Amino acid sequence: MHIFVYLCKKRAPFNGFCLLLPPAKTNKKMNKKMITLALAAITAMTAQAQQQLTVSVTNPSAAARTDQAVIIPLNSYGEVRRALVTCEGKEIPCQLDDLDQDEVYDELCFLADLKGKQQLKYDVQLFTDLCDEPTKYPARVFAEMLIRNDKVKQKNKHNNFIEAITARGDCANSYNLQHHHGVDFESELNGIRIYFDKRQTLDLYGKFQKRLELEATQFYTQPEQKVQGYGDDVLWVGNTFGLGAFRGWDGKEPTMIDPVASRTQRIISYGPLRTIVELVDKGWKAEVNRPAINMTVRYIQYAGHRDTDVEVYFTKKHTDVSSYRFSTGVINVKGSEEFTDHKGLRGCWGSAFATGDTINLPRETVGLGIWIPKQYIVSEEPANKDNYAFVLKANQNVLKYKVVYTSDNETFGYHNAKDWFNFMKLWRKEVEQPVKVVITKP
């Protein structure tokens, strides 16, 4: 005689149980005992499949904060397959991310809105049942990689979608392997593509309206879309940093990510609250007569943010890069006005043509910014005709910074240098005073 119990939870708070009871002819006393055991088994399975956390999020600033990222590492909670986040009884969108691509989620992310000095408590349920899947929420970010389809003539309709690509170091023209020359991603406020070549430059898309657009335009806005108020490419980057591209340094000037054994672009997370993309460079000879290094550059774009996180990891075993020198910064837009606090915050405001068509297309005005924590800064270099540069060093084989931009086309953004530079100062204060997160088990 056997009892079979099947437990499957698709979405809290509803649980479905299948209980196969003993035959009716079985002794009543035995029946009662077996049902009790079955219910105990269900209770044990439920306890094992669901964990409860309380997450307290506090805004240390007197200013209101919106879309503040709350990240919960999951390595202490088993193999989580679904999460439910609520605040004062209301469900809050969240997402699970598999950062190392081993098919196990590593982090839970949700976004918090807080008034000045406010503290909110969030209830988090983590589910580990094999039949669970992450809940789908409306997308507030977007990421895309695709290869051209020769049968498609319209530049914003290509459909050979991929999520990773690797080129050998001797690839003749990796720049043209992908439709828009590399991975692109966006929040409602921005849009960025990263060139798939030795430059690995960030090129910028300027918007008029606060919304997602890159799925529709594929970075090649069509005339009818422009009539509808869609944005377009707003920056010519050439061989400059563009917006915060990571490069080498030869003691005098930035160097490209070349030569390499291979270079990779891949999408780690599509959203809905943050998209994560990575550039992987193996066998990079960053400095002459020194060992080649391996590097992963991770870009994280949160919903509701115009700034983007940049995280650089040097991953080759038994290789310490602390004595290597690197560089980043922002392009010196032709005739731009510079801002710097000489403490890691630097940017500019200027206008230039975004393409070679100087007849049919107008100049585009942009504000650019970068913030680098002091532990990574070796020097702030004088401006030259190409860049506002920094020389950098890694700390324990890691290096992190943030980049940000605005387009003068925005109906929701900044329209002069004074306002942009004031924003940058406030941005730095917010970055250096993040919300405080405390995680407890009830």
- Report how far residue 319's alpha carbon sits from residue 199's, in angstroms, rounded to the nearest whole number: 24
| pLDDT tens column, 143-194 | 999 999 999 999 999 999 999 999 999 999 999 999 999 999 999 999 999 9
| pLDDT tens column, 291-311 | 999 999 999 999 999 999 999
Per-residue pLDDT, 13:
39
Average pLDDT on 1-11 reads 42
- In b/e form, how buried is each residue of 240-261, taking b as 16+ CB within 10 angstroms? bbbbbbbbbbeeeebbbbbebe
Per-residue pLDDT, 18:
43
| Range scoring the smallest mean pLDDT among 58-62, 95-99, 209-213, 359-363 | 359-363
Per-residue pLDDT, 153:
93
Write down the domain spans for the chain: 4-49, 51-137, 142-433
Per-residue pLDDT, 10:
40
Confidence bin at 7 (pLDDT 50/70/90): very low
Per-residue pLDDT, 439:
97
- Report how far residue 341's alpha carbon sits from residue 429's, in angstroms, rounded to the nearest whole number: 13
Average pLDDT on 79-102 reads 97
Per-residue pLDDT, 75:
95
Mean pLDDT of the chain: 91
Q: Which residues have C-beta within 8 Å of that of residue 69, sequence separation ≥ 6?
A: 109, 111, 274, 302
| pLDDT tens column, 270-283 | 999 999 999 999 99
Per-residue pLDDT, 247:
98
pTM: 0.90
Instruction: Give the Cα-Cα-Cα angle 27, 31, 35 (nearest 5 degrees).
Output: 175
Per-residue pLDDT, 42:
47
pLDDT at 56 over 70: yes
Per-residue pLDDT, 359:
77
Confidence bin at 442 (pLDDT 50/70/90): confident
- Report how far residue 187's alpha carbon sits from residue 247's, in angstroms, rounded to the nearest whole number: 25
| Residue 143: half-sphere exposure toward Cβ, Cα within 13 Å | 25
Is the distance from CB of 286 to CB of 397 less than 8 angstroms? no
Structure tokens at 128: 């580990």
Reduce the DSSP state of residue 370 to 3 states and report it. strand
51-137: CATH topology is Immunoglobulin-like (2.60.40)
- Report how far residue 288's alpha carbon sits from residue 291's, in angstroms, rounded to the nearest whole number: 8
pLDDT at 341 over 60: yes
Per-residue pLDDT, 361:
79
Instruction: Give the Cα-Cα-Cα angle 283, 286, 290 (nearest 5 degrees).
Output: 85
Confidence bin at 29 (pLDDT 50/70/90): low
- Report how far residue 442's alpha carbon sits from residue 438's, in angstroms, rounded to the nearest whole number: 12
Reduce the DSSP state of residue 441 to 3 states and report it. coil
Confidence bin at 24 (pLDDT 50/70/90): low
Is the distance from CB of 361 to CB of 305 less than 8 angstroms? no
- Of 21 and 255, the structure prediction assigns the larger pLDDT to 255
Per-residue pLDDT, 198:
98
Return the CATH architecture of domain 142-433. Distorted Sandwich (2.70)
Sign of the alpha-carbon dihedral angle for 288, 291, 294, 295: negative
384: burial class by Cβ within 10 Å (0-12, 13-18, 19+)?
exposed
pLDDT at 393 over 80: yes
Average pLDDT on 86-105 reads 97
Per-residue pLDDT, 360:
76
Per-residue pLDDT, 19:
47
pLDDT at 26 over 80: no
